[in-house]
């Protein structure tokens, strides 16, 4: 199966990017998706096909990265198409996330891929959350916490990703875990902090500074600033989850109270945040 979610037509591709069999869960596998993203973003070709026909599956983070190519290519008058062969798992995942349009009669397990840029589009994400089968049956306080954190993540992405595109997001749920990813096309955490400090910090130091309570590059002191990441860390620890961030040339992971930093050999234009929490 081959379909397009780019500019305006589905003609013969003049540039094909093919991946061999992989299950995109490990950091190294998600890095491969980022490298595809980077290749498409830099390409001068106008009709590009991603051939995943020999791949088995993809993570929520990887799917968001791929889906984000749609509005990005649309802005640059490129067509992007995806060939997934006859892989039913891939096709079901794309249908569940509204990337591939087809009637879906199964129980709802996802927040479909959405482009967000204002209060109305964020409210659309929160409406989708209410209908996820394993979420709507949670206790009211637990649901309210998830609802609040998703709103904060989406609002921050729209704030930091101010541009012609906005931000993109999607979520997925099973009986044990809920995962949500949001990706903005802004300047990125590392670049923004280093602009504030005249490039005096290393990439890791810039991230560490951004994570500290009360630190913010925003200068409106009439508003509370810098608490966002602290509240997310508390949320992740409370529900035995994981936080993953890709921004500029850095990868960051926080799980079981431990932080991991890694410098990337590719560039992320903006910031992608994935949270995973236990719902059992």
Quick one: fold of 107-280? Answer: Heat Shock Protein 90 (3.30.565)
Mean pLDDT of the chain: 81
Which H helix or E strand runs over 278?
strand 258-278
**Which pLDDT band holds residue 227 (cuts at 50, 70, 90)?**
low
pLDDT band, residue 119 (cuts 50/70/90): very high
Pairwise pLDDT comparison (89 vs 226), residue with the higher score: 89
Q: What residue ranges do the domains of the chain occupy?
A: 1-103, 107-280
Task: Give 199-255 as a 3 state SS string.
Answer: CCCCHHHHHHHHHCCCCCCCCCCCCCCCCHHHHHHHHHHHCCCEEEEEEEEEEEEEE
What average pLDDT does range 264-279 have in this prediction? 93
pLDDT tens digits for range 231-262: 899 999 999 999 999 999 999 999 999 999 99
Mean pLDDT along residues 93-111 = 65
**Angle, alpha carbons 157-162-163 (nearest 5°):** 125
Class of domain 1-103: alpha beta
Cβ neighbors of 140 (< 8 A, separation 6 or more) are none
Report how far Cα 71 is from the mean position of its chain's Cα atoms: 13
Which residue from 122, 149, 136 is spatially nearest to 234, judged by alpha carbons? 149
Name the pLDDT band for 223 (thresholds 50, 70, 90). very low
In the chain, % of residues over pLDDT 70: 78
Residues 156-184 have pLDDT tens digits of 898 876 666 789 998 988 889 999 999 99
pLDDT at 10 exceeding the cut of 50: no
């Amino acid at each position: 199966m081959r379909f397009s979610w780019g500019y305006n037509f589905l003609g013969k591709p003049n540039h094909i990017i093919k991946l061999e069999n992989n299950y995109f869960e490990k950091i190294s596998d998600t890095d491969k998706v980022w490298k595809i993203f980077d290749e498409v973003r830099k390409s001068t070709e106008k009709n590009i096909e991603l051939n995943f026909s020999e791949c088995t599956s993809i993570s929520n983070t990887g799917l968001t990265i791929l889906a984000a190519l749609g509005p990005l290519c649309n802005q640059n008058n490129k067509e992007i198409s995806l060939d997934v062969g006859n892989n039913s798992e891939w096709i079901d995942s794309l249908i569940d996330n509204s990337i591939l349009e087809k009637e879906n009669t199964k129980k709802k397990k996802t927040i479909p891929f959405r482009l967000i840029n204002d209060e109305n589009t964020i409210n659309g994400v929160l409406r989708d959350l209410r209908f996820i089968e394993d979420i709507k049956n949670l206790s009211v306080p637990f649901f309210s916490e998830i609802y609040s954190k998703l709103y904060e993540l989406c609002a921050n992405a729209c704030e930091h990703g101010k541009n012609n595109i906005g931000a993109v997001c999607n979520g997925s749920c099973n009986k044990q875990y809920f995962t949500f990813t949001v990706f903005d096309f802004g300047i990125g955490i590392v670049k923004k902090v280093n602009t504030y400090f005249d490039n005096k910090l290393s990439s890791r130091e810039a991230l560490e500074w951004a994570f500290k309570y009360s630190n913010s590059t925003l200068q409106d002191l009439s508003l509370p600033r810098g608490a966002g990441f602290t509240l997310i860390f508390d949320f992740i620890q409370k529900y035995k989850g994981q936080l993953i961030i890709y921004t500029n040339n850095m990868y960051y992971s926080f799980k079981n109270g431990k932080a991991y930093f890694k410098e990337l050999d590719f560039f992320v234009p903006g910031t992608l945040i994935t949270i995973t929490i236990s719902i059992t």
